[in-house]
Amino acid sequence: MVIGCESGTLNDIQINEFCESSILISSNFEKNNIKQACYELRASNVYYDLSQKANNRVDLTEKHYDYILIKPKQSVVIITKEKLNIPHNCLARILTKGRLFSIGLSPVNTYADPGFIGRLGIIFFNMSNDYLKIKPDEAIAKIEFSVLSKPVTKAYHGQHGYETNIWPIPDQYNLTTEEIKSDPRILEDYKELSSIYGEKYTKVTTRLLSVEKRLLICIICYAIFILTTASILIYFDKKDILNSIFTFVLGLIASVFSTIIAMKMEKK
């Protein structure tokens, strides 16, 4: 499919004419969303949580949620409500909405290739420290349509994430635990934190780790003290041996529990 039009960016009149004929946007077209030389895409009720490796698809209707939640420093893929139908001689660019960028929500600018048919998945990253919400039908990005001088020889063809209910997240780029351990470029945790968040954050983390180690040492010393005291009581108080044994056992139990708690804290 091609459109008969001079090459260049389409204006509001042209966008409306083509969309009314189910070209450019074939489903859920809203005339009021046309702005000068672009169209504002809206959020659907489906998004993907990229922080989850499995079962990351969230349907607001199924979950009975009112809005899409984007946590601080979290990335999500929001599926558009509109379904696109891009001709073979047209390219669609996805652009940022300034209103969302001003609150710390940054979309990854992308485009729809000639021949693309389906709903788009737009990646958003919450740069702020706030919990943000996006409601269904809310405008999330701008799309502009550019007509090419000639149609492409090989139009876009392949699976569309939304149509298969699977968002194609490539996991071959993620390092395994073994690869992380064996790669000399990946430093200790606190050093990696320093390179990512800065020296001030690392100082706080190092201080907390130091307090944790001291607390562990204190717990071990306390356990040794209890055992030693109980042993001395048993040795010198032979007349009331049962009471001494009871005190020793009680101290031993307290020491065991203290050691278990300390070991769990160390693992965390």
- 3-state SS string for 77-110: EEEEEEEEECCCCEEEEEECCHHHHCCCEEECCC
pLDDT, position 30: 95
- Cα angle vertex 201, ends 198, 203, to 5°? 105
Q: How far is CA 68 from the centre of its chain?
A: 13
Which residue in the block uniquely carries the two structure tokens 């004419």?
Answer: 17
In terms of Cα–Cα distance, which of 114, 156, 145, 132 is closest to 43?
132
How far is the C-alpha of 195 from the C-alpha of 202, rounded, in Å? 9
Give the whole-angstrom CA distance, residue 141 versus residue 71. 19
Segments of the chain with pLDDT less than 70? 158-171, 196-197, 227, 230-252, 254-268
Does residue 92 contact residue 145 with C-beta atoms inside 8 Å?
yes
pLDDT digits (tens, 9 = 90+) for 192-238: 777 766 777 777 777 777 777 777 787 777 777 776 776 666 666 65
The pTM for the full model equals 0.69
Distance CA 61, CA 45 (A): 7
Largest CA distance in the chain: 108
**Which value, in Å, is the radius of gyration of the alpha carbons in the chain?**
30
DSSP state of 22: T
| Residue 134 host element (H or E) | strand 132-134
Question: In the numeric block, which tokens belong to residue 59?
Answer: 């349907």
Residue 194's identity, in one-letter code, is S
Beta bridge partners of 144: 93
| Closest to 137 in 3D by CA, of 224, 205, 219, 68 | 68
